[in-house]
Amino acid sequence: MQPRLLALAASLIFAATGAMAQTGTVEIKDAWARATPGGAQTAAVYATLTAPAGDRLTAVSTPAAQKADLHTMTMDNGVMKMRQIAGLDLPPGQAVTLKPGGYHVMLTGLAKPLKEGDSVTLTLTFEKAGTREVSAPVQKVGAMGSDPHAGMHGGTDMPMKH
């Protein structure tokens, strides 16, 4: 192979490798959902996301519900407020945790109740990493984390605005 051709091939391989490292993949850990009581039509899903090169979660879909949106929850003068967000930035190398009382995936119009022991399949769409599928095990009603034995401490009498 001629030296120029060899140099060109090497630079193309190097460029492709650099692009792959730049977009990277997103690590998705500890995905879980809460079981739904009675005839509830909404549920929340949580997980921890880490993008080594940084990324942005832009959409979520699931066959388990008519709609899946990204939400944030905040407290304002003792009132819990939930708001839909357009996307969620994932800073390079920093874990972003979707958890009760913070960021989460809101499922609306459930196809069927979420029962403890089942799982919910989600497709997450990222700006750089593309789509990723994840399975979130369903924990008991009131669970507070990826530990299936964890539960809510106290009631849920907090006023909430949507």
Q: What is the mean pLDDT of each run of 10 residues along the chain (162 residues)?
A: 46 40 78 92 97 97 98 88 96 96 96 95 97 96 61 35 40
Whether the Cβ atoms of residue 26 and residue 132 lie closer than 8 Å to each other? yes
- For the record, the structure tokens of 112 come out as 């069927």
Residue 72 lies in a domain: yes
Which pLDDT score, from 0 to 100, does residue 4 have?
52
Residue 153 lies in a domain: no
User: Which residues have CB under 8 Å from 36's CB, separation 6+?
Assistant: 42, 43, 110, 113, 114, 141
> CA 101, CA 19: separation in Å to the nearest integer?
36
Residue 116 lies in a domain: yes
pTM, entire model: 0.75
Q: Sign of torsion, CA 104 125 88 23?
A: positive
Which pLDDT score, from 0 to 100, does residue 36 have?
94
Which pLDDT score, from 0 to 100, does residue 53 have?
94
Which pLDDT score, from 0 to 100, does residue 13 have?
42
Residue 160 lies in a domain: no
Which pLDDT score, from 0 to 100, does residue 155 have?
34
Whether the Cβ atoms of residue 21 and residue 54 lie closer than 8 Å to each other? no
Q: How many domains in the chain?
A: 1
The CATH number of the domain holding residue 65 is 2.60.40.1890
Structural domain range at position 136: 24-146
